[in-house]
Amino acid sequence: MRLLVFATMLLIPSVAQAEWLEASSDHFVVYADDSEKDIRFFSDQLERYHAAMALLTGKQLPAPSPSNRVTVYVVRNDREVRKLYDGNDKHVAGFYLPRAGGSLAIVPRVQAGSGEVEFSMVVLLHEYAHHFMYSTSSFPVPRWLSEGTAEFFASASFERDGTVWVGRPAQHRAAEIFLADDVTAEELLDPDAYDNEARKHYDAYYGKAWLLYHFLTFDEARKGQLGRYIDGLVAGKASREAALAAFGEFKQIDKDLRAYLRKRRVLAFELGPKLIKSGQVAIRRLTAGEEAMMPVRIQSRVGVDAEQADALVVDAREIAAQYPGTAAVLASLAEAEFDSGNPEAALKAADAALAIDPKRVNAWVQKGYAMFELAAGADDPVKAFEQARDPFLALNKLEYDHPIPLIYFYRTFAEMGRAPTQNAKDGLEWASQLAPFDLGLRMNVAQMMMRDGRYKAARFNLTPIAYNPHGGGLAETARALLASIEGEPDRESQHDE
C-alpha cells in the first residue's frame, strides 16, 4: 500500500454485446444484460473494493454462504431503477436492500473501464460500505461518521492492473459542497445542533461528512484524532463531547476545513494488485427461460404490493407455460404465486422446480413459505407446522449457513404455541450473526433475549438499531425497548430443552 498525491485518471468506456449473464464471486452475485468482458470486470471491481475495505479497516470477514452474498441486478437505465424503487424519487440512481439470505442492490448499467467510476457505481459502493461496516461492527457510530466513511470508500477508482484507489476527491459531491446549504462542523458533530437548524432546502451534509472524514484521515496535524474520537464514543461520551475532546473547537475545524478544501492536490491511498486479491469470478449464460423471467424475478425480489403481485403473477404464468422444464423459471413462478396470495399454486410450482433440480435454493424457500402459510389454516396446525419445517430443514442441509431456515425453525414454535428450544434460540442468534445488517432480524433476537432476561445481550442488539440514522420506526421502537429495560440486571434464563 502506498499513500500518494491523487492524480487524475482516465475513464475508458467499453462497447457491450448484450446477453443476460450471471457473475458469481465470493461476496457478490451479479446479473446483467451485458457482455462477458464487462460483467467480469464489474464483478472483479466489486471484489477488489471489498478487499480494499478489509485491508484499510483491518477487518477480515469470512466468505458468506452463497445465499447471503449481495446480489446486484444491473437494469437498463435510471428510469428502471426509479420504477423499481417507487417511481417518484427522481434523485434515486441505485438502491440497496439489506436482508438475511437476500440482500440485493439495483443499479443502472455501469460502464466497465478504469479510472473514475460513474455515479451509479458510487451509489453501489457507498451502500456496500455500509453493508461491510455493519457486518464487522455492532457499535452504533454517529450519522456523520457512518456517511463520511461510506463516502470516503465510495470515492474509489479501479485500474486494469488490479490497483484500487481509495480516498479520492468526492467529485460527485462537489456541487453539493460548494452550492448547497452549508453544514457546519458543529452541526455534523452534534446531532442536536443539526436537528435544531430549520432547513428548507437540500444541504451539504454528505459532502461535508466526506470532507471531515478525509481531512481527519490525511491531515498530518490531525493525525490520531479520529481514533481518539472513536475511543471517546466507545467510552460512552456523546458525539459532541467526544469531538470537542479529540478535535478541539468547532470554529477552528470549520476554518481548517475551508483551507483543506482549497488545496489543489490531496492525498489518496493507492492499493497495488499485490495487496488486493479479488478471487475468481465464474460466468454463466442464463437460459432462455431465465432471461424471459428476469423482469419478474427482479420485481419479486425488490418487493410488491397487492396490485403489483396480481399483475406480476400473470406474466410469471405465461413465461412458465413457455418454459415448463426450467427449474429456475418454476421457482420464480412459485415466488410470484406466493406473493399474490396463492400458497397452493406456489407449493405446486416449487415442487415442480425441485423435481427438476433438487438443489434449487429458491424453490426450497418458496415451498417453506407456502407450507408455512397453509399450516396456519390447517385442521391440525401443530402437525402442519411440524411438516412445514421440512423444506427449511432440507435447505439447511443443502446450505448450512443459510439464515432463513434458522429463522423459520424458530418461528414454528411461536406458531404452535410452544416455547422454543435452546437449539431454536441458538439458531436465531446465529442467523443474526450471519446477517448483522438485517436490523429487523436483530430486533427479533433482542426481543427473544428480553423474554429470557438476557438484558445485557438485548441492549447489545438494540443499540445499533436505536441509533441507526436511517432506522425510522424501527429505531423508535428500539429506543423504547432500551428505555424499558434500563437498569434491569440479567437474570438466569430458563430454557426448554
Q: Which of 79-83, 220-224, 275-279 has the lowest mean pLDDT?
A: 275-279
Question: What pTM was estimated for this model as a whole?
Answer: 0.89
In this structure, of 106-110, 129-133, 233-237, 396-400, the range with the lowest mean pLDDT score is: 106-110
Percentage above 70 pLDDT, the chain: 93
Look at residue 126 and tell me whether its pLDDT is greater than 80.
yes
d(CA 40, CA 34): 10
Quickly count: other Cβ atoms within 10 Å of residue 54's Cβ. 16
Q: Order of strands, edge to edge, in the sheet holding 28-34?
A: 95-97, 104-108, 70-75, 28-34, 19-24, 282-285
Quick one: 339 exposed, middle or buried, by C-beta within 10 A (0-12, 13-18, 19+)? Answer: buried
d(Cα 148, Cα 57) in Å, to the nearest integer? Answer: 14
pLDDT value of residue 294: 97
**Residue located via cell numbers 466507545:** 234
Rounded distance between C-alpha atoms, residue 332 and residue 299, angstroms:
11
The mean pLDDT of 294-306, rounded to a whole number, is: 96
Residue 113 is predicted with a pLDDT of 59
Nearest to 434 by CA among 400, 474, 468: 400
d(C-alpha 394, C-alpha 377), whole Å: 23
Q: What is the mean pLDDT of residues 400-428?
A: 96
Please give the pLDDT value at position 138.
81
User: Cα dihedral angle (72, 141, 214, 160), rounded to 10 degrees?
Assistant: -20
| Exposure b/e, 242-268, CB count within 10 A at least 16 = b | bbbebbeebeebbebbeebbeeeebbb
Q: How confident is the model at residue 335 (pLDDT cuts 50, 70, 90)?
A: very high
Looking at residue 110, its pLDDT comes to 72
Coil, helix or strand at residue 116: strand
pLDDT category at 4 given cuts 50, 70, 90 is: very low
In the DSSP assignment, the letter for residue 4 is E
The pLDDT value recorded for residue 372 is: 97
- pLDDT > 80? residue 360: yes
| pLDDT reading at 15 higher than 60 | no
* Cβ neighbours, 10 Å, residue 174: 11
More confident residue, 365 or 469: 365
User: What is the tens place of the pLDDT at every residue in 173-212?
Assistant: 999 999 899 999 999 999 999 988 767 678 999 999 999 9
Radius of gyration of the chain (CA): 24
Question: Which among 414, 395, 416 is positioned nearest to 331, based on CA atoms?
Answer: 395
In this prediction, residue 415 carries a pLDDT of 94
User: Predicted confidence band at 10 (pLDDT cuts at 50, 70, 90)?
Assistant: very low
Average pLDDT over residues 278-282: 90
> Of 6-15, 218-227, 315-324, which gets the smallest average pLDDT?
6-15
Quote the mean pLDDT of the chain.
90
Domains of the chain plus CATH, in order, are 2-271 (no CATH), 288-484 (1.25.40.10)
- Mean pLDDT across the stretch 304-314? 96
Q: What does residue 289 show for φ and ψ, rounded to 5 degrees?
A: -65, -40
Amino acid 9: pLDDT: 30
Structure confidence at residue 18 as a pLDDT band (50, 70, 90): low
The mean pLDDT value for 282-293 works out to: 97
- 20-43 average pLDDT score: 94
The 3-class secondary structure across 5-38, one letter per residue, is: ECCCCCCCCCCCCCEEEEEECCCEEEEEEECHHH
428 with 444: CB under 8 angstroms? yes
Q: Cell match 418458496: residue?
A: 366
Q: Which amino acid is at 155?
A: S
Count CB neighbours of 430 within 10 A.
14
| Residues 6 or more apart whose Cβ sits within 8 Å of residue 394 | 364
Helix (H) or strand (E) holding 71: strand 70-75
Give the C-alpha separation, 101 to 373, whole Å: 19
Greatest mean pLDDT among 186-200, 266-280, 347-361, 450-464 lies in: 347-361
User: Looking up cell 469470478, which residue turns up?
Assistant: 281
46, 47, 122, 151, 495 from 270: Cα distances, Å: 16, 16, 18, 17, 52
| pLDDT at residue number 491 | 77
Separation CA 256–CA 215 (nearest Å): 9
Q: Is the pLDDT of residue 328 over 90?
A: yes
What sections of 63-167 are H helices per DSSP?
Answer: 78-85, 119-136, 143-154
Region 79-85 average pLDDT: 90
The packing angle between helices 225-234 and 239-247, to 10°, is 150
Cβ atoms 363, 354 nearer than 8 A: yes
Element (H, E) at 425: helix 422-434
